[in-house]
Structure 1
């Protein structure tokens, strides 16, 4: 037993010095006090970091296919009335949606931004079921109503019983819809009257789009878009001859749910139009993101970067459709955010490093001070 104790004594890496050989100094005590305070604050900082979570970021190739992309938006146009403002979307797969109305809410605002009226998006009133004329003539007693398409009928029994159906008939013919005030259905539904009532007002439009997860575009324009082959037109712009001012403020624009640390660069951005005519374009690079918190809950979302460009509509050249256009493309790289706590062993290692490192540095400083003062006393 004694031999074992002796062997352990020989392994002692910290030999003890008799207290009679200690030489305690004022400056040594000061260095000790300062080092203790430093160790305390470093320990508190390290303990606080241990209690809080950290987020690790990794980049991987996005191998997912298919699926949908949700676009949430809230945009205010101070100079464009709600009646003529519409939203369209299309993507590279060939899917096109014009004058989207579902999941969209428009709010009329006055010149200073106060709310006038909020409504689900619709143009005019519901279709008139019993107007007075049938293709320009009176209804017989037992006849059902069949409204005129004003030259755009595809057959003799083709009926247009609403302003929207007249517009659709014109769209199929590739014609622009002009003189809306002379169309009986539009006049009865109050379309032209609404345009005049809302003149000088603006519009806040908000909602969301569910689109294919491929590159595409969506845009807000003062008019209704229709297409003929590969050409696109806006047929309600002729209702007013004024150049629309597309000044706008993007209150919110994102591509998915919020997660901690997410920054949407267009939130709160405002652009003022200085010249007449033209369109404003945003080019977005959408990066898929997955956020996993410490409890294992996962949020699938997206981040994006943006560049901007204003396209002038010069006189004498092709007149571009006024509006705000968003062109988005998907990145092949996906970002994984993993929220986690620092491990306990890592915390203990850091604490030991704080204590040992502080004592070592304090010992070096104390040694310099002690030997420096000792050398100065010898010279004196």
Structure 2
């Protein structure tokens, strides 16, 4: 989401999501959510048996746009509700969700985590991207997540950021969030990262320019009731762009500068060597003189 009003919900392109168990091991990917699940004994919207050459058409439970709209899976019902800006309070009341064991699948995933990696292309304006549970949708111009299906009051938002960059890598760049780990201590909350992005141009000795960014960050934990919008459980990254651009240019030093440095080094070595030689010579001379008069012991 950004201040220009552009929003991308439930991003899947260029993003890879993996299910993890409580020990961080990757769970084998299952073919769930790909295509409409097969329903053994479908229920007709209008009742009765299917006529010859008639296909199953499941009810959208009031979210239909036209009488011809069909929702043949739990995901299609939820998507129809999302487009209306509605939330499903009890999935067990939806025949498609009940037959697919929607709530049971959520219970089976208790204690699991996830690994997300990939990249996003965003506008060069202030905005945010976040990871939060529940289906996201727009309601009265407000971005909300449907948490009712989880039927729980707290969510564990402990997380580790392996790598976060805004743009390509360039020599010397330091990304302050790489390797950051945070463990949740409170029942629930919203963890926020406020990021200031500084556009950066790095030019190497061959004249090749890399258009990238650096950033600084501050962190904040916001606690509160789960049902309130301002305390939606999740990890939020709020970014803003600095009006200042930093330019790094890699250059070879001139031969005259190199020669001056060499002369300075040679002169320094010669001077220090002379001091050490003088110290050793005079020390040896003093010791020899004392030995001749018999005072050295």
TM-score class, shorter-chain normalisation, is 0.7 to 0.9
RMSD over aligned Cα atoms: 3.1
- Superposed counterparts of 1:174-185, under 5 Å: 174-185=85-96
Instruction: Measure, in 2, the Cα distance between the counterparts of 1:196 and 1:368.
Output: 83
Query: What is the CA-CA distance between 1:98 and the residue it aligns to?
Result: 1.0
Instruction: Measure, in 2, the Cα distance between the counterparts of 1:148 and 1:317.
Output: 31
Instruction: Measure, in 2, the Cα distance between the counterparts of 1:114 and 1:242.
Output: 26
2:74 maps to 1:163 = yes
Secondary structure at the counterpart of residue 206 of structure 2: coil
Contact 1:105-1:118 within 8 A present in 2 as well: no
Structure 1 partner of 2:294: none
Corresponding residue to 1:207 among 109, 118, 127: 118
Instruction: Measure, in 2, the Cα distance between the counterparts of 1:205 and 1:315.
Output: 23
Structure 1 partner of 2:33: 124
Structure 2 partner of 1:279: 190
Give the greater-gyration-radius structure (CA). 1
Corresponding residue to 2:170 among 231, 253, 259: 259
Structure 1 partner of 2:23: 112
Between the two proteins, the alignment pairs up a number of residues equal to 283
Secondary structure at the counterpart of residue 232 of structure 1: strand
- Superposed counterparts of 1:213-232, under 5 Å: 213-232=124-143
2:264 maps to 1:350 = no
Query: What is the CA-CA distance between 1:115 and the residue it aligns to?
Result: 1.6
TM-score norm. by structure 1 comes to 0.66
Query: What is the CA-CA distance between 1:256 and the residue it aligns to?
Result: 1.4
Contact 1:123-1:191 within 8 A present in 2 as well: no
- Superposed counterparts of 1:188-337, under 5 Å: 188-189=99-100, 191-314=102-225, 320-337=231-248
Contact 1:243-1:276 within 8 A present in 2 as well: yes
Structure 2 partner of 1:133: 43
Contact 1:127-1:189 within 8 A present in 2 as well: no
Q: Deviations over 1:156-214 (max 9, x none)?
A: 22222333332232223332112223323334555434322222211111121111111
Instruction: Measure, in 2, the Cα distance between the counterparts of 1:297 and 1:213.
Output: 23
TM-score norm. by structure 2 comes to 0.82
Secondary structure at the counterpart of residue 251 of structure 2: strand
Q: Deviations over 1:118-155 (max 9, x none)?
A: 47xx9634114776233152322222332211122223
Higher RCO (CA-CA < 8 Å; seq separation 6+): 1
Instruction: Measure, in 1, the Cα distance between the counterparts of 2:188 and 2:133.
Output: 12
Unpaired runs of 5+ in structure 1? Answer: 1-89, 372-376
Unpaired runs of 5+ in structure 2? Answer: 283-288, 290-297
